[in-house]
């Protein structure tokens, strides 16, 4: 029996399609924070918008890749299933590295190379574990 595959192009397309839907939520959070800023005058509310952006960016790949795998009827422990897990691992690692870099530049957070390696590894494992759970969205 020949193993069916999922291309990276399809995984990226589904991820960005889901991410566009999530960006509507980020825009709503941004509007709510803007209203609270105008009402309360607290500039720290901008951090909520960035945090929600990165959180939804983080969850988009595992949800999308799990949905693609489920839609195509592929099992987890096949080459195509492993590709979705690897895609989610890399996606989660990159998003967390961008989040840490944003904190480092914007908030002055101290981060070493070991912090990056530990955070990206844990985030990648978490994303791959999420992608292993069947999600029909």
| Tens digits of residue pLDDT in 65-105 | 988 888 888 888 888 888 889 999 999 999 999 988 888 88
Rounded Cα–Cα distance for residues 11 and 137 (Å): 15
- Which residues, at least 6 apart from 130, have a Cβ–Cβ distance to it below 8 Å? 59, 62, 63, 66, 88
**Number of neighbours of residue 137 by Cβ within 10 angstroms:** 12
For 119-137, write each residue's pLDDT tens digit. Answer: 999 999 999 999 998 876 5
Contact of 134 with 86, CB cutoff 8 Å? no
pLDDT for the residue numbered 1: 42
Beta strands per DSSP E along the chain:
none
Domain that holds residue 111: 8-132
Contact of 84 with 16, CB cutoff 8 Å? no
- Which residues, at least 6 apart from 129, have a Cβ–Cβ distance to it below 8 Å? none
Contact of 95 with 54, CB cutoff 8 Å? yes
23 assigned to some structural domain: yes
Contact of 42 with 96, CB cutoff 8 Å? no
Rounded Cα–Cα distance for residues 18 and 7 (Å): 17
31 assigned to some structural domain: yes
Work out the mean pLDDT of the chain and round it to a whole number. 85
Q: What is the mean pLDDT of residues 47-58?
A: 83
99 assigned to some structural domain: yes
116 assigned to some structural domain: yes
103 assigned to some structural domain: yes
3 assigned to some structural domain: no
Number of domains in the chain: 1
Confidence (pTM): 0.82
């Amino acid at each position: 029996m020949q193993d069916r595959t999922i291309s990276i192009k399809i995984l990226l397309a589904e991820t960005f399609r889901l991410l566009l839907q999530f960006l509507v939520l980020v825009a709503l959070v941004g509007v709510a924070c803007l209203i609270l800023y105008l009402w309360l005058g607290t500039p720290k509310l901008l951090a909520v918008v960035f945090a929600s952006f990165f959180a939804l960016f983080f969850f988009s790949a595992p949800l999308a890749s799990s949905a693609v795998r489920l839609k195509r009827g592929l099992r987890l422990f096949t080459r195509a299933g492993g590709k979705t897990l690897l895609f989610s691992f890399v996606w989660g690692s990159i998003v967390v590295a961008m989040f840490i870099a944003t904190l480092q530049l914007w908030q002055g957070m101290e981060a070493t190379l070991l912090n990056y390696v530990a955070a990206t590894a844990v985030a990648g494992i978490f994303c791959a574990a999420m992608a292993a759970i069947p999600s029909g969205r």
